[in-house]
């Protein structure tokens, strides 16, 4: 990189860097045209290469620049003092958000499967109400088919997320091991996905406010009166508020225990208590479920995608029933 880049006014430096970030974000490295970067920055292509020797040098500079900014920000907000994701969520300065996997990430993964000789694949996507990754998966599979024509991927919109997607995977694996066909497995999980029940108790209302599910005033008042929000997924995979309970988490968990009675557990119910950093609360809740219903739930930590929506301190119970979701 030419030292003259640093001699530019800071505003001009930012203009060039932002243009490069934009073009690389929208294109694979090999297909990102430097002419477009120059045009976006309002300079000529030759001037761009006056500051950066070639595209590779520019790309590496962008990578290092972003890494340096991220490190400084994380040090400033003491992120390195914990390796617990849900502890990090408690820091409002971080503003952690989720983003969906793009087509290229899907393509790279699917191509590795194809190279390894796998041909019939069931791919479970997160609920499209949270992130529409199914379309990206379909596009990526078509790209892989150009190289491997017999590559067959069936994307299934799970209408759920985190450990509940895992339940569907377990069902499909079991059917595969029993010698069932791909279509038989697909038909089975398509039916079962609407019978996964979710009961989620949210402890921190800030993240629901940030996601637009409750207003700022409601979040402030709710925090004062120890209001707990109950969430579930509807049949279309939309995360929704089903109940608001004052009096703390224990009362909210009692609400779940009483509402489980509406359902009967499937033969393979995969009962699971899930939490976002409240392991003690999850253990107590699992013990109560065992006492009242004679089943012993597995205890799992929630995935970061849905965890960002519900925030730290949440506890949930999920299982496969014989009945459809409400």
Question: pLDDT per residue over 127-164, tens digit each?
Answer: 888 788 899 999 999 999 999 999 999 999 999 988 99
282 within a domain of the structure (yes/no) = yes
> What is the model's pLDDT at position 219?
64
Q: What is the CATH number of the domain that holds 214?
A: 3.30.1180.10
User: Of the candidates 94, 145, 86, which has an alpha carbon nearest to the alpha carbon of residue 121?
Assistant: 145
Is residue 174 situated within a structural domain? Answer: yes
CA-to-CA distance for 288 and 265, rounded, in angstroms? Answer: 16
- Per-residue pLDDT of 288-316, as tens digits, reads 999 999 999 999 999 887 888 788 999 99
Sign (positive or negative) of CA dihedral 304, 309, 310, 316: negative
As given in the structure block, the two tokens for residue 289 are 């479920």
From 141, 163, 194, the end of a domain falls on 194
Cα separation, 251 vs 292, whole angstroms: 16
End of a domain among 194, 212, 239? 194
Please report how the helices 10-26 and 55-76 are oriented relative to each other, as an axis angle in degrees rounded to 10. 110
Q: What pLDDT digit, counting tens, does each position of 247-294 carry?
A: 778 888 889 999 999 999 999 999 999 999 999 999 999 999 999 999
Based on the fold, state whether residues 135 and 203 are members of the same structural domain: no
Entry field: residues in the chain = 326
Give me the number of domains the chain comprises.
3
Residue 15's domain is classified under what CATH number? 1.10.10.60
Torsion on CA atoms 139, 144, 147, 152, rounded to nearest 10: -100
Residue 184 placed within a domain: yes
Closest CA to 260 of 288, 300, 226, 239: 288
The full 3-state SS of 22-39, as one line of letters, equals HHHHHCCHHHCCHHHHHH
Same structural domain, 256 and 267: yes
> Residues 34, 35, 41, CA angle at the centre, nearest 5°?
90
pLDDT greater at residue 57 or residue 209: 57
Structural domain contains residue 82: no
Confidence of residue 28 (pLDDT cuts 50, 70, 90): confident
What totals of helices (H) and strands (E) does the chain contain, helices first? 15, 8
Residues 6+ apart with CB under 8 A from 144: 107, 110, 111, 114, 151, 153
Distances (CA, A) of 320 to 184, 211, 271: 19, 27, 7
Answer whether residue 1 shows pLDDT above 60.
no
Q: At what angle do helices 249-259 and 279-293 cross, to 10 degrees?
A: 30
Q: pTM for the whole thing?
A: 0.75
In angstroms, the Cα distances linking 162 to 109, 165, 303 are 19, 6, 5
**Same domain, yes or no, for 144 and 112?**
yes
Domain contains 92: no
Q: Are residues 237 and 173 located together in one domain of the fold?
A: no
- Is the predicted pLDDT of residue 225 greater than 80, yes or no? no
Q: What per-residue confidence (pLDDT) applies to 215?
A: 67
Q: Does 69 share its domain with 157? A: no
Instruction: Extract the tokens encoding 166.
Output: 């895992």
Residue ending a domain, choose from 179, 194, 209: 194
Assess whether 222 and 166 both reside in one domain.
Answer: no
Are 42 and 22 spatial neighbours (Cβ–Cβ below 8 Å)?
no
Residues 306, 290, single domain; the answer is yes
Q: Is the pLDDT of residue 64 over 80?
A: yes
Do 114 and 199 reside in the same domain of the chain?
no
**Residues 300 and 203 reside in one and the same domain:** yes
Q: 44 falls in which pLDDT band (50, 70, 90)?
A: very high
**In terms of domains, do 107 and 166 share one?**
yes
Q: Which two tokens stand for residue 43?
A: 């300079």
Write out the residue range of the structural domain in which residue 168 sits: 103-194
Rounded Cα gap, residues 118 and 114, in angstroms: 5
| Residues 166 and 281 occupy one common structural domain | no
Helix (H, G, I), strand (E, B) or coil at 264: coil
Domain with 113 in it: what CATH number?
3.40.50.10440
pLDDT at 214 (0 to 100)? 62
Euclidean distance between CA atoms 235 and 190, whole angstroms: 12
Residue 88 lies in a domain: no
Q: Considering the domain boundaries, does residue 204 fall inside one?
A: yes
Residue 250 shares a structural domain with residue 260: yes
Q: Does 304 fall in a domain?
A: yes
């Amino acid at each position: 990189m030419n030292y003259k880049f640093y001699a530019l006014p800071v505003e001009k430096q930012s203009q060039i860097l932002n243009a490069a970030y934009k073009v690389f974000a929208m294109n694979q490295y090999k297909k990102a045209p430097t002419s477009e970067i120059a045009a976006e920055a309002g300079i000529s292509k030759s001037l761009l290469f006056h500051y950066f020797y070639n595209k590779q040098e520019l790309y590496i500079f962008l990578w290092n620049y972003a890494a340096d900014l991220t490190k400084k920000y994380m040090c400033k907000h003491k992120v390195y003092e914990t390796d617990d994701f849900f502890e990090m969520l408690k820091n409002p300065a971080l503003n952690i958000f989720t983003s969906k996997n793009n087509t290229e990430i899907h393509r790279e993964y699917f191509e590795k499967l194809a190279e390894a000789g796998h041909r019939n694949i069931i791919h479970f996507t997160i609920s499209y109400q949270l992130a529409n990754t199914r379309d990206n998966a379909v596009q990526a599979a078509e790209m892989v088919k150009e190289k491997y024509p017999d590559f067959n991927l069936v994307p299934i919109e799970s209408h759920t997320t985190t450990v509940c997607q895992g339940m569907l995977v377990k069902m499909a694996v079991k059917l595969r091991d029993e010698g069932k066909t791909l279509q038989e497995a697909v038909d089975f999980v398509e039916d079962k996905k609407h019978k996964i029940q979710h009961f989620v108790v949210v402890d921190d209302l800030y993240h629901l406010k940030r996601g637009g599910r409750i207003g700022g005033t409601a979040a402030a008042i709710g925090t004062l009166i120890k209001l707990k929000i109950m969430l579930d997924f509807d049949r279309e995979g939309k995360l929704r508020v089903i109940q608001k309970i004052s009096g703390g988490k224990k009362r909210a968990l009692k609400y779940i225990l009483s509402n489980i009675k509406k359902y009967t557990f499937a033969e393979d119910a995969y009962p699971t208590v899930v939490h976002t950093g409240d392991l003690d609360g999850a253990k107590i809740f699992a013990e109560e479920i065992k006492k009242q219903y004679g089943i012993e739930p597995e205890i799992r930590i929630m995935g970061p995608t849905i965890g960002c929506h519900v925030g730290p301190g949440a506890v949930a119970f999920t299982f496969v029933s014989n009945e459809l979701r409400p």
